[in-house]
Amino acid sequence: MTSLMEFKEVDVHYGPIQALKKVSLTVSEGEIVTLIGANGAGKSTLLMSIFGQPRISSGEIIYRGEDISQKSSHYVASHGLAQSPEGRRIFPSMSVEENLLMGTIPIGMDHAEEDMQHMFELFPRLLERRNQRASTMSGGEQQMLAIARALMSRPKLLLLDEPSLGLAPIIVKQIFQILRDVASTGMTIFLVEQNANHALKLANRGYVMVNGEIRMTGTGDELLVNPEVREAYLGGH
């Protein structure tokens, strides 16, 4: 397997505070990789630093053989990296279709029709609500929309920031089933999650982040049974 994206000893500072400390991780093509960790561990910072918000203070972010750590957000977005941001962040006053079309910004509207058709097959709920304002949908539907919107730019690597945030357990299950479906199409997924149980079951490999450092790494199943991980994230026992 070839590496699609690689963090090499990345440091990130917010002023005097160091948020990421010599973080190294790899995402290979076709893989589902998850990054779990507690609140404030630096998970979202890591994801945002791919888009240069904030800029890393040292190290390299290699994406398909190129260092993208100093590129602009729109350069990164138009080269096959798509993100579903934390808290969904759909456009509330736009219809579902318009939200999806916003996702085509990085690549232009050439494939908009067929891609939208594809998204409606993947998320039938969105088809029912295609002309509805996005703010009138439930949290789960909004999360589906956020994922679909990210997929509209035909990404090579899909970055997801806490897709389970604020959703009912049954909806979380649905969302993870959808992610499984998306992954079965060959999409590479990098998933940042607090819900360690679901995330590790889905993922091929996982990284555990504590206080801005990668503490542990292994396959999803290894980490699931690891006593330290169980203690910290899965409620012990």
Partner 1 sequence: MSATAGINYKKSVIDALVAGFMALIVFGPIVGVVLDGYSFNAEFGKVAWMVAVVVIGRFAISCFFQTEKGIAMAFRHANNDEGVAVRLPDHKSKLLWVVPLVIAIGLLVPFIASKYVLTVIILGLIYVLLGLGLNIVVGLAGLLDLGFVGFYAIGAYGLALGYENLGLGFWSMLPIAALIAAMAGAILGFPVLRMHGDYLAIVTLGFGEIIRLILTNWTSLTHGPNGISAPLPTFFGLEFKRRSRDGETFHEFFNIPYDSAYKYMFIYLVLFAVVWAVLFIKHRLVKMPIGRAWEALREDEIACRSLGLNHVLVKLSAFMIGASTAGLAGVFFATYQGFVNPSSFTFFESALILAIVVLGGMGSTLGVVIAAFCLTVLPELLREFAEYRVLMFGILMVVMMIWKPRGIVRVTRTGFAARKGVVK
Residue 33 or 90 with smaller CB distance to partner 1: 90
Residue 113 or 170 with smaller CB distance to partner 1: 113
Residue 131 or 184 with smaller CB distance to partner 1: 131
CB 176, min distance to partner 1, A: 21
Residue 32 or 145 with smaller CB distance to partner 1: 145
Phi first, then psi, for residue 220 (nearest 5°) are: -55, -45
CB 150, min distance to partner 1, A: 8
CB 139, min distance to partner 1, A: 16
Q: Are 89 and 81 in contact (CB under 8 A)?
A: no
Could you give the CA distance from residue 192 to residue 78 in angstroms, rounded to a whole number?
21
Residue 102 or 122 with smaller CB distance to partner 1: 102
User: Beta partners for 37?
Assistant: 209
Phi first, then psi, for residue 60 (nearest 5°) are: -140, 145
CB 40, min distance to partner 1, A: 19
Q: Which residues of 56-65 are buried (b: 16+ CB within 10 A; e: fewer)?
A: beebbbbbbe
Distance (Å) of CA 208 to CA 16, 20, 37: 24, 13, 6
Residues that bind partner 1 (CB under 8 A): 51, 53, 72-74, 76-78, 82-85, 89-95, 97-98, 101-103, 105-106, 109, 112-114, 116-117, 120, 127, 130-133, 135, 149, 153
Give me the DSSP letters along 52-91.
TSSPPSEEEEEETTEE-TTS-HHHHHTTTEEEE-TT----
CB 113, min distance to partner 1, A: 4
